[in-house]
């Protein structure tokens, strides 16, 4: 966790610090155990290829959880994630970089809370957004 | 009204908005740690109870996206494949379309030791024609209520069958 970010420090259009991931097949098995998703296309290459895939693919929900980490690490100890999620649009493969990114789209204060809305996504090595989504977090105010 | 080729039956339509049986989720330290480790979280509040308490939490915090969903249902012998809610459709392939999580931290941050009651319902069936052919898009909403009767989170999920 880095230094605390405050509501006043954030600008609309600003990109938040990126998080780079790269899943080994071992991580996919760990995720299967952590999440309870044991679908074999994520760890059994023969099975994955029999379903018509080129090979193993990264779980969509794991990429979503990466976006959760991106946001958690950004909002710091005093910030909170209110909402986050993504669509699973493109497949990612193990042993390839998955870049998690977010851009601030809106700031608003309501009922004493300071909300920041973001577009978030994961990106494959070709720069394609494989999991586009949105998020709402709250940040502390300096006021 | 349904199109002639619709796979959505009246029985399915009758399920929209109806909650299924509630499921009890026990949020446990080991599961929180396992989930956090599999994501690669680095914050100690997901691993170390003392660190979590030092930051004002009751125990190890459930990482984003983790609602205490058990890998296996505690107190139950293994069962067969998950049952759909009493309907079947002709499409064979299934994709997880996406998931969104909403949190209500003012009602409590989900921590190890919590007992969560999850209630799910189908929000809508939608039929479209995509590049993969005709598709059925099912959206579901799950509400998570903690042991104090407070809603701490919701999940919105989309399933695509084609």
Number of domains observed in the structure of chain A = 1
Residue A48 lies in a domain: yes
CB contact under 8 A, B39 and A69: yes
The residue whose two tokens read 């007992």 is B115
Instruction: With a cut of 60, say whether residue A81 has pLDDT above it.
Output: yes
Of B38, B42, B72, the CB nearest to A31: B38
- Chain A segment 24-83 residues within 8 A of B by beta carbon are 27, 30-31, 33-36, 60-62, 64-66, 68-69, 71-73, 77, 80-83
SS3 letters for chain A? CCCCCCHHHCCCCCECCCEEEECCHHHHHHHHHHHCCCCHHHCCHHHHHHCCCCCCCCCHHHHHHHHHHHHHHHHCCCCEEEEEEEECCCCCCCCCEEEEEEEEEEEEEECCEEEEEEEEEEECCCCCECCCEEEEEECCCCC
Residue A113 lies in a domain: yes
Of B40, B42, B98, the CB nearest to A86: B98
Residue A1 lies in a domain: no
Residue A2 lies in a domain: no
Distance from CA of A131 to the nearest CA of B (A): 8
Residue A107 lies in a domain: yes
Higher-scoring residue by pLDDT: B146, B162? B146
Cα dihedral B115, A135, B155, A40, rounded to 10, equals: -100
What pLDDT is stored for residue B2 in this prediction?
44
Arithmetic mean of pLDDT, A57-70: 97
Whether pTM exceeds 0.80: yes
> Model ipTM?
0.96
Q: Per-residue pLDDT tens for A89-124?
A: 999 999 999 999 999 999 999 999 999 999 999 999
Residue A31 lies in a domain: yes
A143 inside 8 A of chain B by CB: no
Residue A134 lies in a domain: yes
Residue A143 lies in a domain: no
What pLDDT is stored for residue A1 in this prediction?
63
Query: CATH number of the domain that A118 lies in?
Result: 3.10.129.10
* Domains, chain B: 10-74+86-161 (3.10.129.10)
* Residue numbers of the domain that contains A61: 7-138
Contact of B160 with B127, CB cutoff 8 Å: no
Of A34, A62, A85, the CB nearest to B98: A85
Q: How confident is the model at residue B1 (pLDDT cuts 50, 70, 90)?
A: very low
Contacts of A64 in chain B (CB under 8 A): 65, 98-99
Q: Per-residue pLDDT tens for B66-107?
A: 998 776 665 666 655 454 556 788 888 888 899 999 999 999
């Amino acid at each position: 966790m880095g230094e605390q970010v405050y509501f006043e420090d954030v600008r609309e259009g600003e990109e938040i610090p990126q998080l780079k991931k790269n899943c080994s097949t071992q991580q996919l098995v760990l995720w299967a155990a952590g999440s309870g998703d044991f679908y074999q296309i994520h760890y059994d290459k023969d099975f994955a290829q029999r379903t018509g895939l080129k090979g193993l693919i990264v779980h969509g929900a794991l990429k979503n959880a990466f976006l959760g980490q991106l946001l958690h690490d950004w909002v710091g100890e005093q910030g909170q994630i209110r909402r986050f999620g993504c669509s699973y649009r493109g497949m990612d493969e193990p042993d390839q970089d998955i870049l998690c990114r977010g851009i601030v789209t809106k700031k608003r204060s309501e009922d004493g809370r300071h909300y920041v809305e973001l577009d978030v996504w994961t990106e494959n090595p070709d720069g394609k957004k494989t999991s586009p989504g949105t998020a709402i977090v709250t940040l502390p105010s300096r006021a | 009204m349904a199109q002639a080729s619709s796979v959505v039956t009246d029985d399915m339509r009758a399920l929209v908005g109806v909650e299924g049986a509630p499921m009890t989720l026990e949020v446990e330290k080991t599961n929180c740690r396992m989930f956090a480790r599999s994501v690669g979280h680095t914050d100690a509040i997901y691993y170390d109870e003392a660190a979590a308490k030092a930051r004002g939490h009751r125990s190890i915090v459930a990482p984003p996206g983790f609602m205490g969903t058990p890998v296996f249902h505690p107190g139950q012998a293994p069962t067969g494949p998950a049952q759909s809610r009493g309907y079947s459709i002709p499409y064979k392939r299934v994709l997880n379309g996406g998931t969104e999580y909403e949190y209500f931290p003012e009602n409590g941050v989900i921590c190890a030791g919590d007992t969560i009651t999850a209630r799910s319902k189908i929000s809508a069936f939608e039929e479209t024609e995509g590049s993969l052919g005709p598709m059925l898009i099912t959206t579901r909403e799950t509400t998570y209520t903690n042991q104090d009767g407070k809603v701490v989170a919701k999940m919105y999920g989309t399933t695509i069958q084609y």
